[in-house]
Amino acid sequence: MSIEFSKELTAHETPIPGVVLYDLPVHGDNRGWFKENWQREKMVALGLPDFRPVQNNISFNEKAGTTRGIHAEPWDKFISVATGRIFGAWVDLREGPSFGAVFTAEMNPSQAIFIPRGVGNAFQTLEDNTAYTYLVNDHWSADAQGQYTFLNLADETAAIGWPVPLEEAELSNKDKAHPRLADVVPMPAKKILVVGADGQLGKALREQYDGDATVEFAGRAGFDLGSEASFAERNWKNYSTIINAAAYTAVDAAETAEGRAAAWAVNVAAVARLARTAVDHDLTLVHVSSDYVFDGARESHNETEPFTPLGVYGQTKAAGDAVVSVVPRHYIVRTSWVIGEGNNFVRTMASLAGRGIEPSVVNDQIGRLSFTLDIAAGIRHLLESQADYGTYNLSNDGDGQSWADIAGDVYELVGEPRSAVTGVSTEEYFKGKDVAPRPLHSILDLTKIKGSGFAPRPARVALEEYVGQHVMVE
């Protein structure tokens, strides 16, 4: 198998998900040859994950028949041959439906292969003086070896057809002792970490991911966003994603000296720590934003509208969004008028209706409710569909309503007349009160999230279900 010169850079999918074989352009003349073994811009454009290698390793093998593996490491690898030829064998040792899938190929310097974390790698040299090179995206350490997953080279299930029979090949004693496939404990998937998991959205995410062992939940007691130690103590190599469900949402209290400091600490300083962590460890960061980043002057807000926050809360949310936007892999999920488990506007109106109170409710702020179950489902959709990174508006669907309209709906749903609700202007309602300014228009344009394949429920449908499940039974 001689080197083929001047091939085009080409990607070839394999039976193992994420394992991709590449043809590399090799340029040769009477002096020898030259190749671009790793060229980030070209290869990422071709679909290779931007896996950010940090270490380059070379395995030199003096004799043909030298055989190494099968080792699955807790990092991604980009492998090629520097000189000589190899027979490569790769076995999927990750948890999931492709566990045990096998791919083999003969490679010379004009090929390379990308091997994701958890896929077992092995090779057998076909020529003397063969050098096998690895680019990896984590630093090797003795501690990391404890996270390896191994498979015996002679496993009967994988049934790899080694060109040089293993009894004639050069193997290490350690490789001879590796387990058969039936005894292999699959490498677990990287985890999603939900911080702020005890709040309204955190509880909905717990319900959304109920029974999924790959999702870990941490409330303030389990992960203090204000503590540098919480960040330093966690092994981020075991995670793929952080979902930030924590926020300071006391809109009026944020206008006080104490509240202002707390809002900036939670909504900006803590978010900056999360963003720094995501950048350092190549994680996806999901962050929840708010309609309060806008002044409400427009009747509908899309994802490209510039920030125009009116009060401290909105200012801190806008600052948090700006911080998260610099993370290469991020989703900013912008919501409005959030309703979930716990005290909220719907429960308050139902309680007033049950006590026969006829409230005055603001009728000139227009928006849509965002139920936490739908926000959680939307977040899961973005992650699992691998939608383009960026900002997505996510509320429930339907026509815009005022708070007075929604209050009337709640009164009707609990069996009271909507005429019991009196509409008043924001100015009249808050007259004489020291409160934060509110945007008058909070409708979020849902075109982008719908284009990603997610269809939020109509707000009326979600409200009826919420009242039936959370209010009528209390």
Dmax over CA atoms of the chain, in Å, equals 95
- Among 12, 22, 27, 71, the active-site one is 71
**Tokens standing for 57?**
């390793």
The strand pairing partners of 29, in sequence order, are: 32
Asked about 71 being catalytic, the answer comes back as: yes
CB neighbour burial string for 115-125, b if at least 16 within 10 angstroms, e if fewer = bbbbbbbbbbb
Whether residue 43 contacts residue 135, with contact meaning beta carbons closer than 8 Å, is answered with no
Whether residue 443 contacts residue 398, with contact meaning beta carbons closer than 8 Å, is answered with no
Asked about 392 being catalytic, the answer comes back as: no
- Among 22, 27, 132, 134, the active-site one is 134
Q: Report the C-alpha gap between 293 and 302 in whole angstroms.
A: 12
Whether residue 242 contacts residue 282, with contact meaning beta carbons closer than 8 Å, is answered with no
CB neighbour burial string for 217-247, b if at least 16 within 10 angstroms, e if fewer = bbbbeebebeeeebbeebebeebbbbbbbbb
* DSSP string computed for 315-365: HHHHHHHHHHTTSSSEEEEEE-SEE-SSS-HHHHHHHHHHTT---EEE-S-
Whether residue 397 contacts residue 373, with contact meaning beta carbons closer than 8 Å, is answered with no
**Tokens standing for 258?**
């104490």
Rounded to a whole number of angstroms, the distance between the first and last alpha carbons of the chain is 75
Whether residue 24 contacts residue 36, with contact meaning beta carbons closer than 8 Å, is answered with yes
Q: Which helix (H) or strand (E) holds 83?
A: strand 77-83
Whether residue 40 contacts residue 74, with contact meaning beta carbons closer than 8 Å, is answered with no
Residue 94 to residues 13, 157, 337, Cα–Cα distance (Å):
18, 16, 41
**Tokens standing for 209?**
């991911």
Whether residue 362 contacts residue 171, with contact meaning beta carbons closer than 8 Å, is answered with no
Which residues are the active-site residues?
71, 134
